[in-house]
Every structure is written in structure tokens, then in C-alpha cells.
Structure 1
């Protein structure tokens, strides 16, 4: 290729990961750690809140769902905004909002006001997650895209585990309000680092036709000496016309429809399972006769398994067929969920199985994010990824909300886990179907 021509689509593919990409990974990891901390905190706060305010588990339903409703709305709105105004400033504004509204939660004295504050915190969280995923995907070499996206998602599981460790001590030393204070102050401290070090996507800069000087500076920041005043920039990525990129409707155009619907269905089911466990596992375990400490430990084990799974699934997806790996992980979720139902009497065995379940469940969900980032071109990537999150959050809403109902039915922990195996088996089938259809479409026989 002419040395004066720089194709941003293949620019980074044959080069080692540079300083700026490592910076994006580290910042993404920190953002998702705080997101995991803030998202999972209600599951750990709930027992103390029940005791302090003297309310029933059923009363917690709206509170548990409010943050997730906010997550869904934030996800659906933030993608189109990021495709128009840029990934960087949407991420910074969203992290700031998370800190402010989570801090506000600490000063609420009623269930309704706390529910409203959790909703607003969720809107901010919903805007950060898909856009940091999009930015990571656009900064990564194609050969390592899945690894970098899912590696950052280790932070989500790490943040959830950290929340379990910290919340137990904070609640014992102070009160449940201290958990909200911690979850609010940390994002506000991170905002300054984001303003200084978080870059904008070079792909997005070219798409928005920024000045040649800015493009040269951005390219040289990624790879020093790669561009000059005579460099011509282009993007050989799949070309889409203006008619095909108008808002979320573009996600259901012929070229993207099947992948969109199958990834949406898998995310819906995967998040239903995850958010039921994240919000209700400590209470469910307590109701089954385990101590509070054991119940919290199970929640931590789930997140630790997820953090490890998020990292390793990217390695597998970059090496093997990505859809196959994600489908296998969802099938593993169903298997370990059923095993927990069968062997729920032993805490040691349940803890081991919960770790394995966290590993495959978080792997499968993170894998769906990577599938979404790879499925869409730059003009609609942030919208596509954010709607994957948003649809998944609808499943999360139902998962958290149904827990308020299911846990009042008097079911055993075995009965509950048998029910939870159904949605992840549906998710495994959806991704397997996507793989089979696309494999058939791309096969030599299909081309003849």
C-alpha cells in the first residue's frame, strides 16, 4: 500500500499493542470495576436494609429493578449519542453521573427516594458500559479484539467481588450508607483521569470528518511516526449508506438482522440469569439456612469466577469460532445451574459450583458484547453495542424483579436453580443458531 495512505480499519492489525491502547484497557478496566461495584451493591446491602428499615423482601422489588431500568434506558440512549458526539465525552459524563447519583443514595431516608436515586445511577451506568466496550473494540487490532474487550470486562466481576468484600466491613463498622458513599466517591475521582488520558476513537474521528491535523495527531499518538501532513486517511471497513445508518432501525436491516436478534435474545436470557443471582443469591442462600457470612461469600465467589472467565473467553474467541465459544459457555451455565440444584446441601460443593457458574456465565455475557462489537460497522457500532446492552437490561429487570416474587413462593434453593437453567439454555440455542446460519451462508457450497 502507498505509504501516504493510512487505512484506519487495518492500521493496528499488524502492529503490537501500543501505549495508548494499554491506557484505554486500564481505564476501561477501572471504569468497569466501578460499574461492577455499583451494579452489584444492592445485593449485598439488601439484608442490612431490610433489618434497618423493617421492610419485607417483596418491598425491595421496585428498588432492585429501578437501577436496572435506568441501566436499560441509559444503554439505549447513550449509543446513538456516542455515534453522533463521540465515545469519549459520553463516557466521561456518564461516569460523573454515576458518582453524583450514587453518592446521593447515601442520604436518602425513604424507599421511594432511594429508588429514584438508584434509577438515575443506573442511567449513568448504562451509558458507560457499552461505550467503553465500543471504544476498546475500535482501538484494538482485529486479531485481539475479543481478548481486549472481554479482558476489560474482568473489571466488572472484580468490582462486584470487591463490593462484597468491602460492603460487609463497611456495614459492620458504619452502616449500609457507607457502601453508597464509597460507590459514589470512587467514580468522581476517576473522572479527572478520564479527562486527561481517555482518547477518542480514530475510526470515529475519520467518520466525523475531523480536520486533517487532528487525524494526523491521533494516528501518531497511537503509533508515533505513522502519519504526516501528506497522509491520506481512508476506512476500508464495510461501507454503509446514509439510509442504512439512521438510528437503531439500522440494526434490523437485512445485513444485520439475524445477528442482532440472536445476540439480543442471548443477552436478554444471560442478564436475566445474572441479575437474579447478583441481587437475590445472598438472600436466597440465607433463606436456605446459610449464615449471612456464607451467603455473602457465595456472592463474592460468583464475581471472582466471572472475572477469571471474562479474561479467558477472549483468548478462546480470538483463537476459535467466536459464536461456538459463546454457545458452549451458555450451555455450561445451564449445566452448572442444574448441578447446584442437585447438590445444594453442601456449602463447600455449592461454593465450587457457584465459582464455575460465575466463570461460564460472565464469559458468555462478555462474549456477547464482543460479538456485538464485531457485528456492526463504525457508523452504527456504538448504537449496536448499546442496544445489545439495553435489551440485555430488560432481561436484567425481569431477573431482579422476578426474584422479589419467586423468593416469596416458598421454593427450595434447588427449585429456584432448576428454573434458572431454562433461560441460559435458550441463550445457548440462539447463538448456536446464529453460528449455523452464518456458517452455511459463508460456506463454499452456499456461494455456488
Structure 2
């Protein structure tokens, strides 16, 4: 296990995991992109659309805990495939919604699939390679999340789609279903959970899995990092296009804002995440979160569409960069037997932040606050998120984590 190369089957499985991340990112952005046209059709107030944004997040929270726990008992592959099927079918149901109630239900059920998928494609990606490569591989796979979000923004600019927001959800629904069908014959189960040296299914309680054997401090740091980063990220993913329109920019500019945010996050954010995991990680983490503040101030100024779009790109690179850091660290913090449980719990805690973020922005707007006030109101959360990630990266070096993680497995003696 210690020197496991990236074999052809493993590489194919990593590509499939990255595609799962791409569709997850597509769905995360789809409601935000659709919102400017969906709001008038359903007659939704800012406070009401916040609940639509958060419905999938509530579902993801539940799905992440259940999906991670079940996967540690029955395997990553079957849970990931089932989650993608649920995600895809319920995304199509979102397009068919004809009332606020059916819209909320469809988004909640979509969230269950999203939640079950995320901890498992992260854990699978980590377990397909040797420990020293895990940070790099998980960073690359999870960088597909914002790239999927960028594709949602691009799709909204395509001919005709601007007139029918439902197409986004049909595309975001059919894709995961097709991917799930492809995974049945093509996706490998984790090498650490199959074969003669397979890890035994975890039988520890949830609290033991997360807090026993010296994992308590790292679990709490992960949770804090996920909570505040997800609060900021989902607020921006859901509200950025709407805030852009409220800043007197066009619908087309709002779609470009989503594209700039996600593309810069996918590519530049991945580079930032790698730097934040290197030997000068404390400096890079500090610069990254200062960059978020600068980006918010550029958006706050709203002096021109060019400056605002540059601010979106900088915000995407730094906000998503911070999130990719905690994504990469999460699977290294737990042994194989409880890895999906640990990652799933961190994702679930992060989704509490994802619920708070959109509701926070919607509440401010419902009280009559300007878009610029919402942007300034994000800064305290940036400070808290930065402190959490700073503490997380200071605890010990990532190479040490990667080398030590396999030694905590039940099969480590092998």
C-alpha cells in the first residue's frame, strides 16, 4: 500500500471521481445561476429564495453523515453510485417543479444524493494513490467542483437557455445518472477495502470514529474550517449572480460573474491550495484570506463591470482555494476504517455553514440592505475561517500526516 502506483484502473477511477465532483459542482451552482429567472416566475421574495437555496444544503448535511457512515460498512463504490442516481433523478424533478413546495422537496432530495457522493469520491480518490500523493490527487479531483460550477454558468449563456432555467437542471440530472451507470463496470472499489488486505468494516461508534485516538483536536479544526469556508462559498455561489444584478449589472454579466468565480477557483484555487500545503503554508494561508477581503472590496466598489468581474475571479481563486485545502486535509486525518465517516462528518458540519450563508445574505436583503452591505458582512466570517485553516495547517506538516495516516489502519501491520 505504501508504494501503490497510479495504475490504469486507478487512473480511470480517479477520472470517474473527478467527474462526480464536476457534477456536484454543477449542481451547487445551478440554483444560483437559475435564480434571477426563477425568482420572478415563482414570485419569490429574497427570504423565500434563501430557503430554496438551503433546501439542498439541508439534504446534503443528512446525506453526508449517512453516506459516509454506510460507506465505511459496505464500501465506497455502491454508496457513490446510489448517491449519483438520487442526485440525478431529483435534479430532473427540480426542473418539473410547479410550486414552491415541490421545488423545496426536489432540492432537499437532490441534496441527499450530493451529500452521499462527496465524502465517497474524496475518500476513494485518496485511497487510489500512495500517502505522499494524496494531497495533490485530492486537490486535483476536488478542483473539478468549481469547474462544474463554471460549466453551469456557461450553459446559462448558451442560446435559448436564458429563457428556460429548467434546462440547467435537466443537464445536471441526466449527467450523474449516466455517470452512475458507467461506474458500475468501470469504477474500482478502494484498494484498501478490497482483496486480502482489506480493512474490516468499522464498528466503532460515531464519537469514537471522530474523537478517539487523538483525533479530537484535528476533527474540531476540520469542522471549523469546513463550517466557515462553506458559509462563505455557498453564500457566493448562490447569491453572486443575484447580487450582480442588484448592483445594476446585466443578466449576462451575472452569468459571467459565476463563470469567473468558478473557473479561477478551479485552476488558480487549486494552485493556491497546493501552496497552502507546502513548506510555507502559514504565509500562503494568510495571503489567501487577505485576498478574499481584497476581492470583496473590489466587488463592493462596483465601479465597473471589468473591476467587478476581476473581483469575482479573485474571490473564486481565494475562497475556493481555502476550501480545497480542507478538502485535501480531510481524508488524511482519519484511518481507512473510518475515513468516509470522518470526511462525511466534516462535510456535514460544513453544510451547516452552507445553510447559514445563504440565509444570512437573504435575511440582510429582506431587511433592505444593499448588495454592498452583504459583501462587507462576509468579512467577519473570512477572519474566522482563515483562523481555523491557519490552525489546521499549523498542527503538523502534511507529509507527516500522509505518512502517519496508513499506520492507523487495522491492517497497518501488513
TM-score (structure 2 length as normaliser): 0.89
Partner of 1:118: 107
Deviations, residues 62-118 of structure 1 (Å, cap 9, x unaligned):
211101111111111111111000001100000011111111112111000111011
- Residue 326 of structure 2 corresponds to residue 358 of structure 1: no
Deviations, residues 104-146 of structure 1 (Å, cap 9, x unaligned):
1121110001110110001101111111000111112222211
CA distance in 2, matches of 1:234, 1:59: 48
- Of the three residues 269, 276, 279, the one matched with 2:238 is 279
CA distance in 2, matches of 1:381, 1:25: 17
Structure number with bigger Rg: 1
Q: CA deviation at 1:334?
A: 3.2
- Of the three residues 98, 110, 114, the one matched with 1:109 is 98
Q: Any stretches of 5+ residues in structure 2 without a counterpart?
A: 401-414
- Of the three residues 346, 353, 361, the one matched with 1:395 is 353
CA distance in 1, matches of 2:356, 2:378: 12
Partner of 1:258: 217
Partner of 1:11: 3
Deviates more, 1:166-175 or 1:362-371: 166-175
Deviates more, 1:52-61 or 1:189-198: 52-61
Deviates more, 1:119-128 or 1:414-423: 414-423
- Residues 245 and 254 in structure 2, CA contact (< 8 A), matched pair in contact too: yes
Partner of 1:209: none
CA distance in 2, matches of 1:171, 1:70: 31
* Corresponding pairs, count: 398
Deviations, residues 205-227 of structure 1 (Å, cap 9, x unaligned):
2xxxxxxxx44xxxxxxxxxxxx
Partner of 1:306: 265
CA distance in 1, matches of 2:116, 2:229: 19
Determine helix, strand or coil for the equivalent of 2:317: helix
- Residues 71 and 127 in structure 1, CA contact (< 8 A), matched pair in contact too: yes
- Residue 144 of structure 2 corresponds to residue 150 of structure 1: no
CA distance in 1, matches of 2:146, 2:53: 19
- Residue 375 of structure 2 corresponds to residue 386 of structure 1: no
CA distance in 1, matches of 2:46, 2:198: 57
Q: Any stretches of 5+ residues in structure 1 without a counterpart?
A: 1-7, 206-213, 216-232, 443-448
- Residue 88 of structure 2 corresponds to residue 99 of structure 1: yes
- Of the three residues 248, 273, 277, the one matched with 1:289 is 248
Deviations, residues 327-348 of structure 1 (Å, cap 9, x unaligned):
653443234324433x322221
Determine helix, strand or coil for the equivalent of 1:411: coil
Over aligned residue pairs, what C-alpha RMSD do you find?
A: 2.4
Q: CA deviation at 1:416?
A: 1.8
CA distance in 2, matches of 1:333, 1:204: 39
- Of the three residues 153, 157, 173, the one matched with 1:184 is 173
TM-score (structure 1 length as normaliser): 0.83
Deviations, residues 134-181 of structure 1 (Å, cap 9, x unaligned):
011111222221111011112111111111111243664652222221
- Residues 264 and 314 in structure 2, CA contact (< 8 A), matched pair in contact too: yes
Determine helix, strand or coil for the equivalent of 2:3: coil
- Residues 140 and 270 in structure 2, CA contact (< 8 A), matched pair in contact too: yes
Partner of 1:81: 70
Query: What pairs with 1:133-144 in structure 2 (closer than 5 Å)?
Result: 133-144=122-133
CA distance in 1, matches of 2:78, 2:282: 32
- Residues 201 and 337 in structure 2, CA contact (< 8 A), matched pair in contact too: no
- Residues 134 and 385 in structure 1, CA contact (< 8 A), matched pair in contact too: yes
Report the CA distance shift for 1:323/1:116 in structure 2 as closer, same or farther (over 3 A): farther
Partner of 2:378: 420
Determine helix, strand or coil for the equivalent of 1:140: coil
CA distance in 2, matches of 1:409, 1:187: 38
